[in-house]
Chains A and B, each alone.
Chain A
């Protein structure tokens, strides 16, 4: 982020939609964007490992849901999915505002996106530990008590850690944008991470929650 930000300050005029010197293979993609993609690919393979382990364990088990352990709630997590999809829209709208040079609007959308992430984390806390009714951990879904419980906690908490880091990155970027220290490339790179978190949730929601 800082490399492209200083580069942008060096050629001060037009730094919001300044194309990166076109490259034969990567076009106008900045080193920051390519770096983010390489990171996302390695991260995606980590999630792939978790989801495939879940698939192998589940495919090879006779009884997946041990008696006495609660089933995962679908309707509540469908709401969380809705929240993340909406936060992806506010993220691209923030990027759009930044490309058009509207810094204030970009900051507002970044903060709105971070709020979506914070609400998601609250939802996940409620699901695990319960805020207005007992959470899964109090209903008998103990970590380590079954492959069903363990794969659920490991995969969703690993995703939750990504949401948490995404929120931190979004807040830092919103602050830097407010101070005029970022350009549209930076917002796009942060957006890539955030959309990736949304994309992974789409897979986690379908594979872990929806398959009965």
Chain B
């Protein structure tokens, strides 16, 4: 019965609401007058990662998988994020 325990309709709708709010927040940030670009880019980057994580954990059921499967997904996914963080830091360093 392990399967049935994944199904949680209320949670699916709650995640949907979170995703909508975060998307609205992202678009609203872009329209903030005079917002500093490094701040905007980091905030957008962070919000996108939070949204992607929500989809992975709750819609793709990673929250309910075994630890080894979650780690097998997390490590390859973390490597490009880490690389991107290094690139952003490097670009920021050059601008300073």
Cα separation A101 to B6 with both chains bound (whole Å)? 14
Which of A4-12, A84-92, A148-156, A173-181 faces chain B? A84-92
Can you give 24 contacting A-B residue pairs, CB < 8 Å?
A25-B68, A26-B65, A26-B66, A29-B69, A37-B73, A51-B80, A52-B83, A74-B27, A82-B20, A85-B23, A88-B16, A88-B59, A92-B12, A93-B9, A99-B4, A191-B59, A195-B55, A198-B55, A198-B59, A199-B52, A203-B48, A207-B45, A210-B27, A212-B40
For chain A, the count of residues having a C-beta within 8 Å of the partner chain is: 51
The distance from the CB of A84 to the nearest CB of chain B, in whole angstroms, is 10
Interface residues of A in 195-212 (CB under 8 A from B): 195-196, 198-199, 202-203, 205-207, 210-212
Contact across chains for B61 and A188 when beta carbons are under 8 A apart: yes
Partner of A96, one of B7, B72, B80, B84: B7
The majority secondary structure among interface residues of chain B is: helix
CA distance A72 to B41 in the complex (A): 17
User: Chain B contact residues (Cβ within 8 angstroms of A): what range?
Assistant: 35 or more
Question: Are A44's CB and B76's CB within 8 A?
Answer: yes
Chain B residues within 8 Å of A142, by CB:
none
Residues of B within 8 A of A78 (CB): 23, 27
Tell me which of A27, A34, A192, A206 contacts B47 (CB under 8 A).
A206
CB proximity of A155 to chain B, nearest CB, Å: 14
Contact: B41 with A85, CB < 8 Å? no
In the complex, whether B77 has a CB less than 8 A from a CB of chain A is yes
* Given A41-B76, A81-B23, A211-B41, A199-B55 contact (CB < 8 Å): yes
CB pair A85 B20 closer than 8 Å: yes
